[in-house]
A and B are shown apart, each in its own frame.
Chain A
Amino acid sequence: MIDELDTLQRFRAQPYEAPASVVLRARQDLLAVIGKESTDPGIRSAQTASSFGQDRSIRPHGARSRRRVVVVVATAAAALIVIAVVLIPNGRQPSTAAAALDGIALTAAQQPRQTPGPGQYYFIQEKVSVLETAHNPADDVSAQASFVGTENSWVSPNGSGETTQSWSAPRFSSPAEQTAWNAMPGAAYDLGPLNGLDVFYSGQLTGADAMDLHGFLDVSQLPTGETQLSEEIENGTTGIHSIDTVSAGINTDFERVALLLTGPDIGATPQFTSALYEVLSGLPGVTLLGPTTSDSGQSGLGFSAPSTGKDPTTVIVNPNTGSFIELRYNDDNGPAPNGTFGGGSSSIAFTTSAEWVEPLQSTIAASSSLPPVPGCAAHANFPGCG
């Protein structure tokens, strides 16, 4: 007598394990649908607010040039924290972020490698959006200003190139805000008036000097295997000064990977980028924020990790290509003495893009023809002066 149920359970009973490519494709299908929901303004604004991060030890070179007298308004920061707690409860399994990063690693590995053609230059554009809050303790008045910095670099494969940096004029939410800002000690000089754009730096350098000035990270000698790369990042033995000297914090490894993703990198292969995501996937405390809109309006997936600052550090990446979109952090230098330059805190969104272009597209004039940097006469130690 045949047992029909037993027979049925043995029929086609071989383990049907989904191949990694099938899981990846299904995951991407799902992420695409999730991404569409991010166009919902309510969801997007909440997620953007929750992921706006800070960290004192991350300081991409595009953002390092200006220091301002600012003090964070505690109530605004607290509001951001409340939103973060509501949207991302304690106790989330890390597998969500890890799985998403593993998928992105696979995608990144399949991207074509960018290589220069004859006579081509590497063009890098970096943009930084800064929102600063100043507080004058003398009369307990606060004011906010926002501005955008842009840095363009043209670099040949041998390291020669040019860089210009410009900053937009400060924007204020109202005339009253502007009046309050201008009344801040030191603020009037710090933000302008700059007539829209000012050339902050331009020069023509070659070799290591150029690499250093442009802030490039030469990753060509780094391993492309996850385990080895992870060890070098963890031990601070990458040989890249700006990576190895990231100050020890509660998530130094995340910060190092975030900086390597941000670049601009020289010598990065798709395998290297993929390995970076694998390393990120294995780090503790990394949280998937979900669809996140960058400051420049690009959609991506946000990942964050606790930092030494008051907010997490956040990286936004394109899940369909594995390319980096934006790094968010808070540049918190602590309150500066009243009326002096430097110190303070800024909320920063940093983005970079890189491509090989024909040299003709470099429209930068020779450095000798550029106007002098405003303010240098009075502030010789200001970046770009002296």
Chain B
Amino acid sequence: MMESVPVASVRLTDAQVMALSVADAAEFTEIFERHFGPIFAYLARRVGFSAAEDLASQTFVIAFERRSTYLPHPSGVRPWLYGIATRLVSNHRRSEIRELRATARQRPVNAGPQDTDVEQFLERAAAESTYQELASALADLSDDLRNTLLLFAWADLNYKEISVALGISLGTVGSRISRARQILSRRLNRVEDSAPVHLAETPSKEEEQ
């Protein structure tokens, strides 16, 4: 009779684990172990470490409570989880916008000890300036455009997976990403044309020390 005792051997798919978890709730912990890290990273990138703690936890609690509604997808449970996480971010839209605006308002970069020559410093300053404008542009995007674009750029979901995550058609995904990229491109390249070079703000030796 010992043959019936479970022995770990084959990795179950997400869909199999989800199906099992409907009858045996504890199975769902496997979904947590597999996906908590990436979901947390995505949320932390969007709303910051502190807010991500709660949102990541909520994502899995909500997913557990709704597990019987999960429809299997070839990409596994990942798009579904990112969809839940993204909706939670939308509920905390103000936190995300605040984070982005704070980045956009940061004062122009000063040279640091790592900048061994002027060219390197200018490169870094330009990058910082670009990031500030990017943050401002992201904050100005509508929620729908920002969510779609960031699932593509930061969660590495493809168009099909995004359509599952957000419950929108493939065409809508393509259209949103295209529009969002156009907006960002215009803003960033406008900045490049008038790229700020803050040589005057290069710190004195005392400041460096």
Q: Which residues of A contact B (CB under 8 A)?
A: 1-2, 4-5, 7-9, 11-12, 15-18, 22-23, 25-27, 29-31, 33-34, 37-38, 43, 47, 77-78, 81, 84-96, 99-100, 250, 284-285, 287-291, 301, 306, 310, 312
Known: A4-B134, A18-B40, A23-B40. 20 other contacts (CB 8 A): A4-B185, A5-B181, A7-B130, A7-B134, A8-B149, A11-B131, A22-B56, A26-B60, A30-B29, A37-B25, A38-B25, A77-B1, A81-B1, A92-B8, A95-B30, A96-B27, A96-B33, A285-B8, A290-B27, A306-B5
**A2 — which chain B residues lie within 8 A by C-beta?**
130, 185, 188-189, 191-192
CB pair A95 B33 closer than 8 Å: yes
Q: Provided the pairs A18-B37, A288-B29 are in contact, do residues A30 and B24 lie with their beta carbons within 8 angstroms?
A: no
Q: Provided the pairs A29-B61, A33-B64, A43-B25 are in contact, do residues A91 and B40 lie with their beta carbons within 8 angstroms?
A: no
Central interface residue in A11, A306, A310, by most chain B CB within 10 Å: A11
CB pair B28 A93 closer than 8 Å: no
**B45 — which chain A residues lie within 8 A by C-beta?**
12, 16
CB pair A34 B28 closer than 8 Å: yes
CB pair B27 A16 closer than 8 Å: no
Complex: chain A residue closest to B1, CB-CB: A310
Could you name 18 residue pairs across A and B whose Cβ atoms are closer than 8 Å? A2-B130, A2-B188, A7-B184, A8-B154, A15-B41, A25-B53, A26-B56, A34-B26, A34-B64, A43-B24, A81-B4, A85-B4, A91-B6, A93-B8, A99-B33, A285-B5, A288-B26, A290-B27
Is B32 interfacial (CB 8 A cutoff)?
Answer: yes
CB pair A4 B25 closer than 8 Å: no
Minimum CB–CB distance for A319 against chain B, Å: 11
Q: Provided the pairs A2-B130, A95-B33, A96-B30 are in contact, do residues A22 and B24 lie with their beta carbons within 8 angstroms?
A: no
CB pair A9 B40 closer than 8 Å: no
Minimum CB–CB distance for B50 against chain A, Å: 10
**B4 — which chain A residues lie within 8 A by C-beta?**
81, 84-85
**B contact residues, total (Cβ < 8 Å):** 51
CB pair A4 B188 closer than 8 Å: yes
Minimum CB–CB distance for A234 against chain B, Å: 19
**B49 — which chain A residues lie within 8 A by C-beta?**
16
CB pair B36 A26 closer than 8 Å: yes
CB pair A23 B135 closer than 8 Å: no
Minimum CB–CB distance for B88 against chain A, Å: 13
CB pair B12 A92 closer than 8 Å: yes
CB pair A26 B8 closer than 8 Å: no
Considering the complex of A and B, which 9 residue pairs feature the smallest CB-CB distances, nearest first? A290-B26, A91-B10, A26-B57, A16-B44, A4-B184, A16-B41, A18-B40, A94-B8, A4-B185
Q: List CB contacts (< 8 Å) of B16-44 with chain A.
A: 20, 23-30, 32-33, 36-37, 40-41, 44
**A85 — which chain B residues lie within 8 A by C-beta?**
4
- A284 vs B5: C-alpha distance when bound (angstroms): 13
Minimum CB–CB distance for B58 against chain A, Å: 8
Is B107 interfacial (CB 8 A cutoff)?
Answer: no
Minimum CB–CB distance for B101 against chain A, Å: 14
Q: Provided the pairs A1-B189, A1-B192, A16-B44 are in contact, do residues A30 and B12 lie with their beta carbons within 8 angstroms?
A: no
- A27 vs B64: C-alpha distance when bound (angstroms): 12
Is B2 interfacial (CB 8 A cutoff)?
Answer: yes
B26's contact among A8, A94, A250, A289, by CB below 8 Å, is which? A289
**A86 — which chain B residues lie within 8 A by C-beta?**
23
CB pair B41 A17 closer than 8 Å: yes
**A81 — which chain B residues lie within 8 A by C-beta?**
1, 4
Central interface residue in B9, B26, B57, by most chain A CB within 10 Å: B26
Minimum CB–CB distance for A88 against chain B, Å: 5
- A92 vs B5: C-alpha distance when bound (angstroms): 11
**A93 — which chain B residues lie within 8 A by C-beta?**
8, 11-12, 30
CB pair B184 A8 closer than 8 Å: yes
B153's contact among A9, A25, A95, A289, by CB below 8 Å, is which? A9
Central interface residue in A8, A33, A87, by most chain B CB within 10 Å: A8
**A4 — which chain B residues lie within 8 A by C-beta?**
134, 181, 184-185, 188
Complex: chain A residue closest to B52, CB-CB: A16
- A306 vs B181: C-alpha distance when bound (angstroms): 56
**B11 — which chain A residues lie within 8 A by C-beta?**
91, 93
- A301 vs B26: C-alpha distance when bound (angstroms): 9
- A77 vs B4: C-alpha distance when bound (angstroms): 12
Is B207 interfacial (CB 8 A cutoff)?
Answer: no
Complex: chain A residue closest to B44, CB-CB: A16
Complex: chain A residue closest to B10, CB-CB: A91
